[in-house]
Amino acid sequence: MRVVGTCPPDPDAAWTKVDACETDEKLAALAEKLNADAPENLATAMKEADGVLVQISTDYVFGKEPYNVPCNPDQKGTPTGVYGMTKLHGEQKIIATGCKYVIIRTAWLYSEFGKNFCKTMLNLTATKPQLKVVFDQCGTPTYALDLADAIITILDKVKAAQSKEEYVGVYHFSNEGVCSWYDFTQMIARIAGHTHCDIQPCYSSEYPSPVARPAYSVLDKRTIKETFSVKVPYWVDSLEKCIANLKKMNR
Phi and psi torsions of 9, nearest 5°: -80, 70
> d(Cα 43, Cα 36) in Å, to the nearest integer?
11
Q: List alpha helices for the chain, DSSP H.
A: 18-23, 25-32, 38-48, 82-97, 117-127, 144-160, 181-192, 222-228, 235-249
> d(Cα 18, Cα 212) in Å, to the nearest integer?
10
83 is catalytic: yes
- Cα distances from 95 to residues 14, 100, 104, 174, 217, in angstroms, run 18, 8, 13, 22, 23
Neighbours of 20 (CB within 10 A): 18
> Comparing C-alpha atoms, which of 68, 74, 53 is closest to residue 5?
53
Considering 60, 67, 83, 110, which one is annotated as catalytic? 83
- Looking at the annotation, which residues are catalytic? 83
